């Protein structure tokens, strides 16, 4: 009960601005809780020793909650960049993740404070990088990389008759479409209660770099559905924005839900490999 109260408190604190960030507080907590459900006893014990005995769920949105207070944490990009032609992850976000995972592999050599921040970054950003709204595509065939797609634009959400950010659409809009009252435990149990070991093995096969390429491949397909109005920004009239209706939202609930699930399963695999010894 004590752990549940601590976790709930953290979610409420971050939840004030949850819709502004990746997946929202519920999405991040769902990913971390799914991961926790698949940790070996040894891995769970070891990683919790590193974060003052608390659950990884407690720190799932830590990076969002504290990045305003510390510029160095804020610089850790919450959006992953990909080459639009090869769909390989590129740039600093990928390097940050690689650095975090490599540090965790030597976690016994880190100071307590460095270890905690590294765990916070990994748990948060690994979830971010599975969010369709946290994928940016670049064309690198020219002299300089050209950003082809990012999530910082508006669509017109017909279900609410309002402008809505594409980023926010994935962070919270779509996953709350059919279950607005669900908390992270509801999501985790609904998504994770009846999956097979064969499914787990299939989505966690390969390396984390291959997983990110899988995310890019999946996300690349939906950008043409939620289309950006070319060369227009905040001043674009509502009636000229791409319209997203209720049916389109419903069509992608399953997709967004699966991204939450596979992010949690993949996170668990990495934690088990590092902390399960």
Q: What is the pLDDT of residues 83-121, one digit of tens each?
A: 999 999 998 899 999 999 999 999 999 999 999 999 999
Taking the C-alpha atoms of residue 128 and residue 31, their distance in angstroms, rounded to an integer, is: 10
- Rounded mean pLDDT, 252-268: 94
- Decide if 97 contacts 125 (C-beta within 8 A): yes
- Decide if 249 contacts 255 (C-beta within 8 A): no
| Nearest to 171, CA basis, from 8, 14, 23 | 23
Q: 259: how many CB neighbours lie within 10 A of its CB?
A: 23
Structure tokens at 240: 């000229």
The C-alpha angle with vertex 83 and arms to 82 and 84, in degrees rounded to 5, equals: 105
Block residue for tokens 């659950």: 55
What's the pTM? 0.86
Q: List, in sequence order, every residue forming a beta bridge with 83; answer none if it has no partner.
A: 138
Structure tokens at 263: 């992010």
- Rounded mean pLDDT, 54-74: 81
Block residue for tokens 């990928």: 94
pLDDT at 231 over 60: no
Block residue for tokens 């490999």: 273
Structure tokens at 194: 């009846």
Instruction: Show Cβ contacts of residue 48 under 8 Å, excluding neighbours closer than 6 positions.
Output: 54, 55, 56
| Nearest to 170, CA basis, from 236, 260, 272 | 260
What was the pLDDT predicted at 11? 43
What was the pLDDT predicted at 23? 67
* Side-chain-facing half-sphere of 45: CA atoms under 13 Å: 5
What was the pLDDT predicted at 112? 96
- Rounded mean pLDDT, 61-67: 82
Contacts 24+ apart (CB under 8 A), 207-210: 208/97, 208/101, 208/126, 208/266, 208/270, 209/88, 209/89, 209/94
More confident residue, 133 or 42: 42
Positive or negative torsion for Cα 200, 202, 207, 209: negative
Q: What is the pLDDT of residues 126-162, one digit of tens each?
A: 999 999 888 889 999 988 888 888 888 888 888 788 8
Taking the C-alpha atoms of residue 274 and residue 265, their distance in angstroms, rounded to an integer, is: 15
What was the pLDDT predicted at 211? 96
What was the pLDDT predicted at 221? 80
What was the pLDDT predicted at 12? 43
């Amino acid at each position: 009960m004590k752990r549940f109260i601590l976790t709930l408190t953290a979610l409420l604190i971050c939840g004030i601005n949850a819709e502004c960030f990746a997946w929202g507080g519920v999405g991040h907590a769902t990913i971390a809780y799914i991961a926790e459900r698949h940790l070996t006893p040894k891995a769970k014990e070891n990683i919790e020793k590193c974060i003052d005995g608390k659950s990884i769920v407690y720190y799932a949105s830590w990076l969002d909650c504290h990045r305003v207070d510390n510029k160095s944490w804020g610089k850790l990009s919450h959006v992953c960049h990909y080459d639009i032609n090869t769909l390989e992850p590129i740039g600093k976000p990928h390097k940050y993740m690689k650095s975090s995972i490599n540090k965790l592999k030597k976690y016994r050599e880190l100071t307590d404070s460095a270890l905690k921040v590294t765990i916070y970054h990994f748990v948060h950003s690994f979830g971010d990088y599975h969010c369709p709204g946290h994928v940016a595509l670049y064309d690198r065939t020219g002299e300089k990389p050209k950003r082809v797609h990012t999530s910082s634009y508006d669509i017109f959400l017909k279900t609410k008759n309002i402008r809505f950010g594409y980023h926010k659409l994935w962070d919270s809009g779509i996953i709350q479409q059919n279950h607005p009252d669900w908390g992270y435990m509801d999501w985790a149990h609904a998504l994770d209660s009846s999956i097979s070991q064969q499914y787990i093995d299939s989505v966690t096969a390969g390396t984390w770099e291959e997983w990110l390429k899988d995310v890019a491949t999946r996300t690349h397909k939906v950008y043409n559905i939620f289309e950006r109005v070319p060369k227009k920004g905040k001043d674009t009239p509502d009636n000229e924005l791409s319209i997203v209706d209720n049916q389109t939202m419903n069509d992608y609930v399953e997709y967004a839900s699966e991204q939450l699930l596979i992010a949690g399963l993949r996170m668990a695999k990495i934690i088990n490999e590092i902390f399960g010894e």
